[in-house]
Amino acid sequence: MAVIEAEGLVKTYHPRGAPPVHALAGLDLQVPEGTVLGLLGPNGAGKTTAVKVLTTLIRPDAGTARVDGVDVLTRGADVRAMIGVSGQYAAVDENLTAFENLDMVGRLYHMGRRASRARADELIATFGLTEARDRAVKGFSGGMRRRIDLAGALVARPRVLFLDEPTTGLDPRSRLGLWDVITQLVTEGTTVLLTTQYLEEADRLADDIAVIDGGTVIARGTADELKSSIGGHRVEVALVRDADAPAVRGILERVGTTSPAVSSDGRTLSVQVDDGPRALAAVVGELTAAGVELHDAGMRRPTLDDVFLRLTGHGTDDGDRDEGERPAEPASEAGTDPARAATADPPPSAEPRPSDHPRRDARRAAS
């Protein structure tokens, strides 16, 4: 059963003095219960606009959307009562403590003083913030702010969680910590729509990945299915001397099926090929004959980055700033308070249990 459904979503922005921006162009999505759908795409692809429509913050120009069978356009208040939302930036009160922020969210959900305080302490422990419980958030690191923001989205124990690039700007350690929390939530039955620019994040967390570009889904499948769909392998060469890079690039261009990719330090080059073993042997032979000294050379499986480049012709960090920068247009129906829409947050969370296994394997084992 699909808990999150979207059909034919269309949204066009009309910025003053600029051409129209077609953020969504007939977007279709389905997210089965208790799974993670990773929505992968570059800035400007439509990811944030899709989340804003599904969480009732803006209205689409056309199309339909439902969360757990409830129409997003006509029953926005009911949708907001069942979902949790964590956006790209931590939405917390800087002057309140971690405990006060979470307690405030509980009160807004009419949980009652005792229940709200107990839930706040439970989440503070879950997110490893016990020592910072009574400190003002303005003194928190970026990773701590993201954790308290995600905790706020979980106060009311919603069944459905929308995460819009939740680990943007975090250091690797903080990112791994949030991944563990998300993994445990889904193991316990939460349904998650995750937007991300991080290919590793989608590979690690998502049951299915929908690649979005130009406001529409251009491919969907598991990470393995998407990698298999483009076929071939990747030949990768690590150089000892930067000066050899131009010669290596020329050789890779001759054997590859795509343009060579170059690492940020300029010393690792790779290219996708059809016949991995033969291409690797040819590359190593030519480089040896040319006197190029190698640190390493090998054959790699396709990555999600390869998939994305093949499908869209550019990387996930390309494109304009995301359409989500535009101010929200509340999708309010009669009697709905737009301010409440802006504070819509929350999903279920039994106390997370540590796991050394990826969530997909854990859930399969449990079933």
pLDDT higher than 80, residue 49: yes
pLDDT higher than 80, residue 347: no
| The pLDDT of residue 358 | 37
Helix (H) or strand (E) holding 85: strand 83-86
Q: What is the CA radius of gyration of the chain?
A: 23
Most confidently predicted of 116-125, 223-232, 314-323? 116-125
342, 241 contact by CB (below 8 A): no
Residue 316 and residue 305: Cα distance in Å, rounded?
8
Residue among 204, 199, 153 nearest 177 (CA): 204
pLDDT higher than 80, residue 151: yes
Residue among 211, 140, 150 nearest 175 (CA): 150
pLDDT higher than 90, residue 174: no
pLDDT higher than 70, residue 86: yes
| The pLDDT of residue 322 | 47
Query: What is the CATH T-level fold of the domain 2-226+317-366, as seen in this structure?
Result: Rossmann fold (3.40.50)
pLDDT in tens, 239-261: 999 889 999 999 999 998 888 88
| The pLDDT of residue 314 | 64
Q: Within 10 A of 78 (CB to CB), how many other CB atoms are there?
A: 17
Residues 58-64, mean pLDDT to the nearest whole number: 97
pTM: 0.72
Residue among 244, 232, 240 nearest 286 (CA): 244
| The pLDDT of residue 197 | 78
- How would you list the strands of the sheet with 294-300, edge to edge? 261-262, 268-273, 233-239, 294-300
Strands 191-196 and 160-164 come out as parallel
| The pLDDT of residue 303 | 76
pLDDT higher than 80, residue 361: no
| The pLDDT of residue 318 | 53
Name 366's bridge partners.
none
| The pLDDT of residue 317 | 58
Most confidently predicted of 9-18, 141-150, 161-170, 196-205? 9-18
Name 192's bridge partners.
36, 161
Residues 267-274, mean pLDDT to the nearest whole number: 88
Annotated domain spans of the chain: 2-226+317-366, 232-301
Helix (H) or strand (E) holding 86: strand 83-86
Residues 133-151, mean pLDDT to the nearest whole number: 91
* pLDDT confidence bin for 273, thresholds 50/70/90: confident
Contacts of 158 (CB under 8 A, 6+ apart): 82, 83, 84, 190, 345, 346, 347, 348
290, 247 contact by CB (below 8 A): yes
Residue with the larger pLDDT of the pair 198 and 102: 102
| The pLDDT of residue 176 | 86
Q: What is the CATH number of domain 232-301?
A: 3.30.70.120
Residue with the larger pLDDT of the pair 199 and 246: 246
Q: What is the dihedral of CA 120, 121, 124, 129, to 10 degrees?
A: 130
Instruction: Work out the percent of the chain whose per-residue pLDDT is above 90.
Output: 54
